[in-house]
Chain A
Amino acid sequence: MTELFLTVFSAAFFVTIIRTTTPLLLATMGGLVADLSGALNVALEGMMLIGCLTAVIVSVYAPWYVAVGAGLGAGALLGLVMAFFSFRLKADIILVGFAINILAAGGTVFALALATGGDKGTSINLQSKAVPSVDLSFLDAIPGVGPVLTAFLSGHSVLSWIAAFIVFAVWYFLFRTPWGLWLRGVGEYPAAPEAAGIPVNKVRTWSLIVSGALAGLGGAQLAMFNYVGFTRDMTAGRGFIALGAVLLGARHPVGALIAALLFGAFEALAVVMPGLFNEAPAELIRMIPFIVTIAALILFSVRAQRALALRGVK
């Protein structure tokens, strides 16, 4: 047990949490933007997966930042496809989302087999690149706290820092700009912005594009930092956990950040536990985020219902 505590309260474990949280956080921000505009994006999983593969394949031939951009672009494109089918062709957005998930599950394996010449499991024989980590060892020079700061802040992916900035950017956009107000209005009660002359479907289309781009960026982090290379189904439900994190975070960027950190910590635990104990039930630890999400979902639904009842709305 003491070993577990020593591990959990070490700087290395903190760095692991940040690493496991980053893809989840980016996808969560994507889910948040779509959810607030009233378009539940169940395709986060598929968008992440396609983002992963695109980033890996592009990184074989191009520098890492181009590959990250390609992953982001692939996600954005899928968001556009989703918007086109659900708003232009009036398909149900849930079904469109699942179509994209199915396309991603099969399409990535197909494309992987083509890119590797037949390997359907991993991209191990592709020389893909990694996202560099940010080295802040100069902080050592600060007297007293320097080494601690270095241990905690150094060695994170570039994308982790970008993700932290994105949380702030999303918050600023949603609550401090007129477009953020539009977006929240469209999600809250579409008839009112429609009457005010705000193009509801255009707002939703852009939110789905941004949502896809963020999920794709999360995929790039997953396949170019957490793991270097692509494995089939490597997202393993992270897109759906992100949906849960949006709800657990009470549909607010800061809340979503905390929820993503919590889920990231569980994932990090599931990573380190089997190394400490022989019989650690990693499966059961991996289950925790899903159960917490269900609990949070019920909790917030009850609260929302009670709030409605207080306002006298049936």
Chain B
Amino acid sequence: MFDLDLTKLGDLLAYEPSDPLLFGSSLFLFFFFAFIVFYRIFATSKNIRIVLILLFSLYFYYKASGIFFLLLIFSSVFNFYSGRWLFISASQSVKKFILVLNIIVNLGLLGYFKYTNFFLQILSDFRLGEFDPLNILLPIGISFFTFKSMSYVLDIYLEVMEPTNSLRDFSVFVFFFPNILAGPIDRASQFIPQVEQDNYLVSKDEVGKALLLIMSGLVKKIVIADYLSLNFVDRVFDAPLRFTGVENLFALYGYALQIYCDFSGYSDIAIGIALLMGFKLMDNFNSPFQATSVADFWRRWHISLSTWLLDYLFRPLQMKFRNLKMYGNIIALIITFVLCGLWHGASWMFLFWGLLHGLYMGFSLLLQKPKRKLYNALKLTNTKLLSVAQKIITFHLIAISFVFFKVDNFQSAFDIFNQIFFFFKPNVLSQFIEGYTPTFVILIVGYVMHFLPRSLELKTGGALSKIHPVVQGLILAIVIWICAQVQSAELQPFIYFQF
């Protein structure tokens, strides 16, 4: 009766680099549903729940990265024992030695997989020798889980937390499937106590919040990001000279919205899924395009990475250079953001993107006093007008920087700006709206939603939590159905997976 082809089933479940278990894919939804059913059955047994998380997480990672799940296990064991040895060492110099060794091993692994070919390319470019690129596969999510594990040892060194006694509990932190591939980069000090609590408690409000996050994440990813990318943004970025300035400008706005919806959509789903399992992950986004300065943007964009860099890189550098006063701050900012750029990927474009953000903030610091005087003289301080102007300027600085994030070389970026400034053709606007009506509507709706007050989100979550679970499931099914209708092709990989 059932003509089940077991080899096909085996293929479906085995490691396939082009087919990770994407949130939103039917295979993931099927597995997650089964997982959460068992998880709830064993709500009162902490040990079984933890084993379930560990096994499912390892499988989830294996499906995306194959044999590299061994790297994950190494990362967990190595950082767990580093933390323990560091903590029990009495002498400060031994502690420092263990910390340095830990950083060398963690960053060494990250560097080998991610940057080897980039440096070989640089050596070749500067004619320091002839090097062929090595065939190195990048373990997916390595930048995220390396930083996550490092925060544990760094926090023990900085006396923010004491180490856990359980390698098993620490492994839950490292392997945790909702945030393993693309964050949020949670902190051990916030996460491990949640593993250690005995009861699995999820309130009705939290279920409502989780469902809202999962639904909004799916809509952001599939309806907004993937649609914009496939139907408009990629076309313009692939051949900017074939489009007028109007279209290039809209592609620039489109990409800013796309990358935000892609990445924050992923974070929303990750946070929502974790919440259904009784874990509270870090917030990762807070309406970043409402920022009034680039520094403010970084308090709202990829918060788990920006606070990581702030605590473990910027602050130590800032203290090192404090004799140089403001210039010390600027040097620390530029180093931090260049490395932040490189964290995203081994390329000159990412490096330049980071440098640009460092320079934005450096200049802003230099201009702080004259700006304050100017605003006071014009009586603009604390006015709505100033805040709106600051938001518009900041948004454009960010959107411009994302062009360098997206393109492969400076020439493409130059072409895009050249079209915008010297081949604008405003009369094309009406044709653009006519020819790309759905894109235009999604752009407008996407940005309007971004500027809605947060209280509305809280109210919607609250309303969802009061609905009967069957109706909740129905609403979720309808949202998934709508996403499936809009989905124009295969689910696109999340942009941040490549990091």
Q: Do A and B come from one complex?
A: no
Name B residues whose Cβ lies closer than 8 Å to a Cβ of A: none
Name A residues whose Cβ lies closer than 8 Å to a Cβ of B: none
